Amino acid sequence: MRAEPQSGRARWRSGKAVAGMSALALGAAALGVAVPAYAAEGCEVEYTVVNEWNSGFTANVSVTNLGDPVDGWELEWDFPGDQQVTNGWNADLSQSGQHVTASGSGWNGSIGTDGTAEFGFNGSGGGDAPGEFSLNGVTCDGGTGDPDPDPEPTPDPTEDPDPDPDPDPEPGERVDNPYEGADLYVNPVWSEKAADEPGGDAIADEPTALWLDRIGAIEGNDSPTTGDMGLRDHLDEAVAQAGDRPVNIQVVVYNLPGRDCAALASNGELGQEEIGRYKTEYIDVIADIMDDEEYSDLRISTIIEPDSLPNLVTNVGSRDTATENCDTMLENGNYVEGVAYALSELGDIPNVYNYVDAGHHGWIGWDTNLGPSVEVFMEAATTGGATVDDVHGFAVNTANYSALTEPHFDVDDTVNGQQVRQSDWVDWNQYVDEQTFAQALRQEAVSQGFNSDIGMLIDTSRNGWGGPERPTEPSSSNDLNTFIEDSRVDRRFNPGNWCNQAGAGLGERPTVAPASGIDAYSWIKPPGESDGSSELIDNDEGKGFDEMCDPDYEGNVRNGNSPSGALPNAPIAGHWFSAQFQELLANAHPSV
Ligand code: BGC
């Protein structure tokens, strides 16, 4: 069983254009944009068509400011033909005839000297690149008009030093995006279960991640996720699946001491203080296997410890969401120490690409959570032997249900004079979807010192929200809450709900480099594996019963005291849940 089509995407990349022509420093004041008087001005634009289909295309645009810092920017261009912007992200785009204006706002609103702002859009018509761009009225030609331009400008930490790296790196050298130019590993254990379900054949060849959710899973102990194949067997199978291109196998590292401190459904086998066992019986063993010469041609993407570090921000201390277990894990430092150890040991292996789990927008999308979460990620990335070079990127929405995009509204929209952010559903969050959240988190991480070429993964296995309940157009209501309720595709009772959500569907199929800063949409949570039992079920895996998985539960402060929205009759976390698989298939978006 091989994963074929999803890996072709990256090869459609085309039409890359770096704009540049005559240099002249022109005043930007005419546009009403605030820039320092007598500012040195200049810019460079990279316009990349990352995808093209019959009637449309997706373009990513990266604008580098070579002059003095700008606070507020407008990038303008003329399309060469009848292209029309249909929707965009990370910038406000407007079009009149062939003329397009993109302006940055919010976190993407200012660009420092040699800094870069990135945004993207979908368009109709062909993907031919525009010939010329101007930033705040200044033609982007790669110069500044500065009479004494610095011949060797100091590199900017926020700028990708090598945005288009050699796809065939030297042995031992990591590629920029390990999903690009690779086939993704199809886990035969999951595949077989999916194929056994009615209609499951249609997706059984999709690549899903392998969860090492306990020490025994490394050797293969008939756990539901790894089956009777141990890590070595899966790596051998990945080698066997390789055709002309390298295989990327995705492995979730998930066994911290005191695991899942804000919930009970995925508590694990290691007690809160068992950091020693985590290191020697778990990480060391995994690292030893992955480091085997036999596997050196694989690309191994690890997703490190879902949900752990964000819990140290939102579920501790004086917050009313705090839990005793998360307080303990913050105090004893074992989450940070464990993640740091995993990063440094696995990061020593040249073909391992570590992605640190970073929650999802409905959890850390508020400014009070986002910056502080990245600070904790940085702490983990600089503790023990770990360095930022051990972090290849971050994964969001792992095993969650947050919508990839909300097609009928943006966070900056207003309804009858009221901001979308004020609605009960959005509740002042800065984001309404995972894509803009992932891109912003990436930017925040880079600004706090992570490498500028980090990439993001978004788990799209269960955030499709298709089926008959999916709104097909924006509501016409003038009442903000009614508008949002009737327009949003995420049909949960509350974005804090996470267990076996009724009405959810499969999301975007795994896709390589789908948008700026995103390495891949990936199926990290294997569809059909439960999030937790809907009632207490005795087990020897350390899993508890969490009321959030009980369909009759009316909620708590972490989900706005809303109904749990969970499906009934669920088995314990990680076990096969046929009814959920059926529902995910039926509500898939895009449909299967
Ligand atoms: C469970 C794990 C399982 C994983 C993937 C988690 O919720 O706790 O045991 O491997 O989901 O299904």
pLDDT in tens, 228-256: 899 999 999 999 999 999 999 999 999 99
279 assigned to a ligand binding site: no
Q: Is the pLDDT of residue 89 over 90?
A: no
* pLDDT (average), residues 437-463: 98
Catalytic residue, chosen from 114, 357, 453, 531, is 531
Q: Is the pLDDT of residue 322 over 50?
A: yes
Largest CA distance in the chain: 75
Q: Which residues of 183-201 are buried (b: 16+ CB within 10 A; e: fewer)?
A: bbbbbbbbbebbeebeebe
Q: From ligand 1's centre to the CA of 570, what distance in Å?
A: 13
Residues facing 504 on adjacent strands: none
Lowest mean pLDDT among 160-169, 175-184, 278-287, 513-522: 160-169
Question: CA geometry: angle at 158 spanning 251 and 248, to 5°?
Answer: 20
What is the distance between the alpha carbons of residues 431 and 412, in angstroms, rounded to a whole number? Answer: 9
Give, using CA atoms, the residue closest to atom 12 of ligand 1.
574
332 assigned to a ligand binding site: no
For residue 59, which phi and psi values (nearest 5 degrees)?
A: -125, 140
Give, using CA atoms, the residue closest to atom 11 of ligand 1.
574
Enter the DSSP assignment of 153: P
* pLDDT (average), residues 379-394: 98
Residue 260 catalytic?
Answer: yes
Name residues contacting ligand 1 (CB within 6 A): 211, 213, 225, 266, 399, 525-526, 529, 531, 573-574
Q: From ligand 1's centre to the CA of 63, what distance in Å?
A: 41
pLDDT at 510: 97
Residue 168 catalytic?
Answer: no
Catalytic residue, chosen from 141, 160, 260, 550, is 260
Domain boundaries, the chain: 4-139, 183-586
Work out the pLDDT band at 92, boundaries 50, 70, 90. Answer: confident
What is the distance between the alpha carbons of residues 397 and 15, in angstroms, rounded to a whole number? Answer: 31
Q: From ligand 1's centre to the CA of 194, what distance in Å?
A: 16
Beta-carbon-side half-sphere exposure of residue 105 (alpha carbons within 13 Å): 14
Choice between 315 and 20, residue whose per-residue pLDDT is larger: 315
Q: Is the pLDDT of residue 413 over 50?
A: yes
pLDDT at 58: 73
3-state secondary structure of 289: helix
Choice between 501 and 56, residue whose per-residue pLDDT is larger: 501
Lowest mean pLDDT among 145-159, 263-277, 451-465, 505-519: 145-159
Choice between 4 and 73, residue whose per-residue pLDDT is larger: 73
In the block, tokens 């249909």 appear at 86
Mutate to test the pocket of ligand 1, among 210, 254, 308, 499 (most ligand atoms within 8 A of CB): 254
211 assigned to a ligand binding site: yes
Lowest mean pLDDT among 153-162, 446-455, 581-590: 153-162
Q: Is the pLDDT of residue 384 over 80?
A: yes
Q: Is the pLDDT of residue 319 over 70?
A: yes
Give, using CA atoms, the residue closest to atom 8 of ligand 1.
266
* pLDDT (average), residues 447-471: 97
Closest ligand 1 atom number to CA of residue 211: 10
Work out the pLDDT band at 54, boundaries 50, 70, 90. Answer: low
77 assigned to a ligand binding site: no
Q: Indicate the CATH number of 4-139 among 2.40.50.180, 2.60.40.290, 3.40.50.620, 3.30.43.10.
A: 2.60.40.290
Enter the DSSP assignment of 281: I
Q: Is the pLDDT of residue 570 over 90?
A: yes
Choice between 318 and 162, residue whose per-residue pLDDT is larger: 318
Lowest mean pLDDT among 47-51, 173-177, 500-504: 47-51
Percent of the chain predicted with pLDDT > 90: 72
Residue 162 catalytic?
Answer: no
Class of domain 183-586: alpha beta
Catalytic residue, chosen from 160, 307, 490, 550, is 307
360 assigned to a ligand binding site: yes
Q: Encoding tokens for residue 202?
A: 């249609």
Average pLDDT of the chain? 88
Assess contact for 342 and 253: CB atoms under 8 A. yes
Work out the pLDDT band at 148, boundaries 50, 70, 90. Answer: very low
- What pLDDT digit, counting tens, does each position of 481-534 carry? 999 999 999 999 999 999 999 999 999 999 999 999 999 999 999 999 999 999
Residues facing 414 on adjacent strands: 419
The H or E element that residue 102 is part of is strand 99-103
Assess contact for 35 and 41: CB atoms under 8 A. yes
Peptide bond into 69 cis (omega under 30): no
Mutate to test the pocket of ligand 1, among 187, 225, 250, 261 (most ligand atoms within 8 A of CB): 225
Mutate to test the pocket of ligand 1, among 213, 525, 530, 549 (most ligand atoms within 8 A of CB): 213
Work out the pLDDT band at 119, boundaries 50, 70, 90. Answer: confident
Fill in the amino acid letter for 376: V
Strand pairing report for 210-212 and 247-253: parallel
Closest ligand 1 atom number to CA of residue 530: 12
N-terminal to C-terminal alpha carbon distance within the chain: 18
Choice between 358 and 33, residue whose per-residue pLDDT is larger: 358
Q: From ligand 1's centre to the CA of 573, what distance in Å?
A: 5
Least Cα distance to 291 among 230, 227, 245, 231 occurs for 231
What is the distance between the alpha carbons of residues 321 and 94, in angstroms, rounded to a whole number? Answer: 41
Alpha helices in 229-280 (DSSP H): 231-241, 275-277
What is the distance between the alpha carbons of residues 572 and 302, in angstroms, rounded to a whole number? Answer: 24
- What pLDDT digit, counting tens, does each position of 195-207 carry? 999 999 999 999 9
Q: From ligand 1's centre to the CA of 213, what distance in Å?
A: 6
Question: CA geometry: angle at 165 spanning 160 and 168, to 5°?
Answer: 155
